[in-house]
Amino acid sequence: MTTVLDVQRFKDEGRRFTVLTAYDYLSAKILDDAGIPVLLVGDSLGMVMLGYPTTLPVTLDDMLHHAGAVARGSRQALLVGDMPFMSYHASTEQAITSAGRFLQEAGMHAVKLEGGGPVIEITRRLTELGIPVMGHLGLTPQSVHAMGGFKVQGKTDAQAARILADARALEQAGAFSLVLEGVPSKLAVDVTKALRIPTIGIGAGPGTDAQVLVLHDMLGLTTGKAPKFVKRYANLAEEITRAATSYAEDVRRGTFPGPEHEYSANGASPAKDREEVRYGG
């Protein structure tokens, strides 16, 4: 099983690695079997699974529900649960309780928190308590309103210096890795060089130690113009449309179900009596 020690070793040995988001049992199983070492149950599920315009409405219960499903589908990956908006902002005590639930109830191995500043002290406490923390700086979607939209961060010298200082402080506080989202490539390289722990980029150029993408973007399940940093490795939206229309056509024409999809009456064949009727086979 991949652990926080392994991801540190990947960086120490100069081995770039992948992180993908996962939100449900079957996709976690497929990604885990494909050897993706780190699965992040991101609060991006609010946008791609639940249809919200931002991640802000996502609750801790939403996250735990999906995280549990991912844990049931996974055997080898390091599982990281994303702490949703307002599950760690009120106090360190609240953060400890929320993070504890990810590990105790949902089978996660670590949690991710957005931001620097007060989140640095929370990171220190969680780490002291044995809860591994992935940091997240740059474009932090839970601060979308403070940032005036989903905008690239760290473009000015002052902003870049702030992000670098927060990155160092998060490492000092015990974070085992750091997501850098929506920052100029040069800043991502500077942070990556300054830190001992691995950096994980999304919209941060090629110079980080690892890359993360939202699964639905990577698979082409999201449609329309993709953000610049996304590469679509499949076009599943088209594939699903094709499958759904050809299923509908078969039903209309009466060519589905065919004889091979039918059950016979009891006693026709002993083997057939043992046939199971269940989903997800």
Residue numbers at the binding site for ligand KIV (CB under 6 A): 21, 40, 42-44, 82, 179, 181, 202, 212, 214
Cα–Cα–Cα angle for 88, 183, 223, rounded to 5 degrees? 85
Nearer to ligand KIV, 227 or 257 (CB): 227
Nearer to ligand KIV, 54 or 92 (CB): 54
Nearer to ligand KIV, 32 or 82 (CB): 82
**Nearest CA to 36 among 233, 226, 182?**
233
Nearer to ligand KIV, 60 or 179 (CB): 179
> Collapsing DSSP states into helix, strand and coil, what is residue 162?
helix
Interhelix angle 118-128/157-173, nearest 10 degrees: 20
Tell me whether the omega of the peptide bond preceding residue 198 falls within 30 degrees of 0, making it cis.
Answer: no
Q: Is residue 105 flagged as an active site residue?
A: no
Is the CB of residue 122 less than 8 Å from the CB of residue 128?
no
DSSP structure class, residue 82: E
Instruction: Identify residue 142 by its one-letter amino acid code.
Output: Q
Q: Which residue of this chain has its Cβ atom nearest to ligand KIV in the complex?
A: 42
Question: Tokens in use for 82?
Answer: 């994303």
Choice among 181, 262, 275, 276 that is catalytic: 181
Is the CB of residue 69 less than 8 Å from the CB of residue 79?
no
Cα end-to-end span (Å), the chain: 26
- What is the smallest separation between the CB atom of 30 and ligand KIV, expressed in angstroms? 17
- What is the smallest separation between the CB atom of 245 and ligand KIV, expressed in angstroms? 31
Catalytic positions, written as ranges: 181
